[in-house]
A and B are shown apart, each in its own frame.
Chain A
C-alpha cells in the first residue's frame, strides 16, 4: 500500500525557517515525481512545488520561489521542503503528493502537516 507521511510542521516566527519531510513507502520512490501542496485555514488548495523523479528538475510558483526549496533523498525514500523567510501567509497544512507519471500529478496524498507562522 502506498503511504506518504509528512512531519516537521509546527509554530515558527516570521522570518524563520522550517524543514518538512515526507516519508514514502509502498512504491519505488525513485521512479516518481513528487509535489507539495498547501491549504491555508478555511481556504482552497495551492500548489507549492514539484520535483522530478531524479530531483534534477524542480518547479515553484512565484509565491514561494527563492524562499522554498524542494529536494529528495531517493536512498531514504524521503521528500523534503526547506522553507525560509517564512511569512504569516505561509500558514497552512502542507501535503506531499505522488505523481502517477510525469504528466499525471497528485495521484496519492499524505495526511498533511500544519505550519503556523506567528510571533
Chain B
C-alpha cells in the first residue's frame, strides 16, 4: 500500500498569511493526487485534482504542485473561511490512501 505522509498535522496562521501543506508518497504516484478541505460537521470538498488542477468555483488563492512523491497545497493569502482541515489523497493505485490531515487554525 502507498503511504501518504502529510505535514504539518496542524498549524496556526493569521488572515493574509501564505500557507503551505505538504504530502509525501511512499512511492511514485505520478500526478494522481487530490486535495480536500473539510470544515467541522461538513463533508469534505475537493479543491484540487491531478495535483494542480483547480476545481471549478475554488478561489485562485489555492494552488497545488508536485509530481512523483512530493506534493504541496498552497494558500497564497489565508482568508477566514479557509480555516479547516485539509487532506491529500493518492489515487494512483488501490487501496486509495489519504494523508493524516492538516488542521489550519487561527493564530
Interface string of B74-100 (1 = CB under 8 A from A): 000000000000010101001111111
Is A15 an interface residue, CB under 8 A from the partner? Answer: no
Q: Is B95 a contact partner of A104 (Cβ separation < 8 A)? A: no
**Contact at A47–B36, with CB atoms within 8 Å?**
no
Residue of chain B at shortest CB distance from A107:
B46
Q: How far is the CB of B85 from chain A (nearest CB, A)?
A: 8
Query: Complex: how many Å from CA A81 to CA B60?
Result: 36
State which of A44, A45, A59 has its C-beta within 8 Å of the C-beta of B95: A59
At the interface, yes or no: B7 with Cβ under 8 Å from chain A? no
What CA separation (Å) do A27 and B44 show in the bound complex?
A: 20
**Chain B residues within 8 Å of A109, by CB:** 43-46
Complex formed: what's the CA distance from A47 to B91 in Å? 10
- Nearest-neighbour CB distance to chain A for B98, whole angstroms, equals 5
Q: Report B-chain residues with C-beta under 8 Å of the C-beta of A8.
A: none
| A45, B88: Cα distance in complex, Å | 10
CA A107 to CA B58, docked complex, whole Å: 13
Judge whether A73 is part of the interface by a CB distance below 8 angstroms. no
Question: What CA separation (Å) do A37 and B45 show in the bound complex?
Answer: 13
Chain B contacts of A105 at CB under 8 A?
34, 89, 91, 96
Q: Say yes or no: is B54 at the interface (Cβ < 8 Å to chain A).
A: no
The contact size tier of chain B is: 20 to 34
Across-interface contacts of A44 in B (CB, < 8 A): 87, 98-101
Q: Which of A35, A37, A61, A100 contacts B49 (CB 8 A)?
A: A100
CB distance from B2 to the nearest CB of A (A): 12
Is A111's beta carbon under 8 Å from chain B?
yes
Please indicate the chain A residues that have their CB under 8 angstroms from the CB of B44 in the complex.
37, 45, 95, 106, 109
B50 near A47 with CB under 8 A, answer: no
- Pick the most buried of A46, A60, A62, A104: most chain B CB atoms within 10 A of its CB: A104
In the assembled complex, 6 residue pairs joining A and B whose CB atoms fall closer than 8 Å, in A order, are: A37-B44, A44-B101, A45-B98, A60-B95, A104-B91, A108-B46
Q: Please name 15 further chain A to chain B contacts, defined as beta carbons within 8 Å, in addition to the given A47-B98, A104-B49, sorted by A numbering.
A: A44-B87, A44-B100, A45-B101, A47-B89, A59-B94, A95-B44, A104-B34, A105-B89, A106-B34, A106-B36, A106-B44, A107-B55, A109-B44, A110-B43, A111-B43
